Structure 1
Amino acid sequence: MNPAWPVDTARPWLAPYAPRAAAAGATLAQGLGVAEALSNQPVPIGLPAGPLRFVPVHTAPADEAYEAFIFRTAQVPTRDNLHDFFNGLVWLHFPQAKRRLNELQAGEIARAGIGAERGPLRDALTLFDENGAVLDAPPALWEALLARDWQRLFVAERALWRQARLLVFGHALLEKLSSPRKPMTAHVLCAPGASRSVAIDDAAIAAALDAAHLASKPFAPLPVLGVPDWWAPNEAPGFYDDTEVFRPPRPAGRLYPE
């Protein structure tokens, strides 16, 4: 992997991962692969099969599902690319949540096998793992987000974002944010029960990953580059008037692709 890889650890969405990203990046600059660079970091938790390890992708049998292999061996197949680099960072920083996702995925694979369709639970697990986010915010921001009232969310209630925290969990979204573009959208997990927020710590995220709740796809789309202080262009007048990105609420009976 090229040591000039485009990871700017000063970006706000990388703040939770920045120390490990910098340390692993220094290892990559020495010519080691991503699996080795991640394995050089302290691993805070194990899986049922043993201590978590990152291994080159060819280690996994071609005929075994990725998540089933991780569950069986506690080894994460890792390619030399940004996608798998960010996946490893999330494993290291939020191991309980990633372990919970893997346990649910492996359980569904054992129950139903691998077919043409994943089913609602595996779809939701994959969506959160790849593109998910967690928001801890005052109720007024949640109300605006769920209503897709972007002007209220980002303009009228802009000051409330000082009381909010947004975590980008999905490693595919972290990869895409290496080259920020306005339409990039996270799927924010709504917590089970009356409270919408999930506290941004590993145990709280893992606890919110309830199988029945996830199967209902309890996600709210959020254009992440609209978050105040996350991207300089959103300070410009009219930034939030772009209805191709900041879409109005769905008309009754009509679905937008997320």
Structure 2
Amino acid sequence: MLPRADGRETVEHPLLRAWVGSGELPDLGQLEGRRQCMQVRDGIARPAFRAQTPALLADGLHYEERIATCGVLATREQGVHDVFNALVWLRHPELKWALNARQVAGIAEVGPRERTRGQYALTHFDEAGAIVWLADDALVPIWDAHDWSALFVRERSAWGRSIAVSVFGHALVEHVWDGHRMPVAKCLVVRVPSVELAARVGPAAIVIRWREAEAHVAAQIRSGRLLADPQELRPLPLAGIPGWHDPHAPDAFVRDAPCFRPLRAGRRYPAPCSDLID
């Protein structure tokens, strides 16, 4: 078991409850065991979790190329970051494979020492990304304006009903594990029917996994339609979601907390994805 940075044994944050439950992180052997079980259960391959040793790295392959060609994920055994990355592979394999395919294509295009705009977008989403499932278009303009009071205070009842989130980025989860309680996700926004959302949303407006919908998103990532540029990603201060933080004065909190930043002059966001989910 890997210890928490703050030494506490219980997990109180909703994001950590969604990802690690009891607060104990699995070791490499446990991760590999879970991988084999989950592949049998859902029929989706995940790369084998192998200790990142000099012998493993001696193949000379790039990290992403090793996943694509050998089906092996180099994993640092005592690295919390790598454990959360493995957990994301277990829960969201279609999305992870789509990112990997695009990264490998980028390496073939510009080499391992350069990066395209698309590769930057892929990395941002991989490390700090989330999918926001949206069933109410009226929330888009207030989010795009960074009107955090409207999004999180006035529209508080919308969270878990017409808007919800699946946190995907393993570095973002690690950030909360290390004691930071005001993470900001970089989000893809996907329109979905309200009835479908209601069937999948859990506590704190979290959708653990939505396999069918994620498969559509993954296909669009593979094609390059999504994550072609980092500017596609909307920031979302997760502490504003009801149940993620418990401020005594919500209006003051979203006004004064540093994670709730104003809109930068000239910043524009793309329309939410509208044709991915039937």
Structure 2 length as normaliser, TM-score? 0.74
Encode CA deviations 1:25-76: one digit per residue, 9 max, x unaligned.
4xx5xxxxx32221011233555xxx63100011233732111111111111
**Partners of 1:253 and 1:3 in 2: how far apart?**
40
Encode CA deviations 1:83-107: one digit per residue, 9 max, x unaligned.
0111011100111111111111112
The answer to whether the Cα contact below 8 Å between 2:16 and 2:177 also exists between their aligned partners in 1 is: no
Structure 1: which 5+ runs fail to align? 29-33
The answer to whether the Cα contact below 8 Å between 1:8 and 1:178 also exists between their aligned partners in 2 is: no
**Partners of 1:125 and 1:140 in 2: how far apart?**
28
Letter in 2 for 1:101: L
Select the residue among 109, 115, 119 that pairs with 1:118.
115
Structure 1 length as normaliser, TM-score? 0.80
Number of matched pairs: 238
> How many Å apart are 1:145 and its aligned residue?
1.6
- Is the partner of 1:102 in helix, strand or coil? helix
Letter in 2 for 1:118: R
The answer to whether the Cα contact below 8 Å between 1:142 and 1:196 also exists between their aligned partners in 2 is: no
**Partners of 1:222 and 1:119 in 2: how far apart?**
24
- Is the partner of 2:265 in helix, strand or coil? coil
> How many Å apart are 1:129 and its aligned residue?
0.5
Structure 1 residues 89-98 or 36-45, which shifts more? Answer: 36-45
Determine the structure 2 residue equivalent to 1:149: 147
Select the residue among 49, 53, 71 that pairs with 2:48.
53
Higher relative contact order (CA 8 A, sep 6+): 2
The answer to whether the Cα contact below 8 Å between 1:60 and 1:69 also exists between their aligned partners in 2 is: no
Taking a change above 3 Å as real, the CA distance of residues 144 and 196 of structure 1, as seen in their structure-2 partners, is farther
**Partners of 1:37 and 1:87 in 2: how far apart?**
14
**Partners of 1:170 and 1:119 in 2: how far apart?**
20
**Partners of 1:11 and 1:238 in 2: how far apart?**
21
State the percentage of identical aligned residues.
Answer: 32
Work out whether 1:204 is the aligned partner of 2:206: no
Work out whether 1:132 is the aligned partner of 2:141: no
Taking a change above 3 Å as real, the CA distance of residues 104 and 8 of structure 1, as seen in their structure-2 partners, is farther
Encode CA deviations 1:204-228: one digit per residue, 9 max, x unaligned.
2343224133113311001111211
The answer to whether the Cα contact below 8 Å between 2:148 and 2:260 also exists between their aligned partners in 1 is: yes
Select the residue among 224, 242, 246 that pairs with 2:238.
224
- Is the partner of 1:238 in helix, strand or coil? helix
Work out whether 1:91 is the aligned partner of 2:55: no
Letter in 2 for 1:135: V
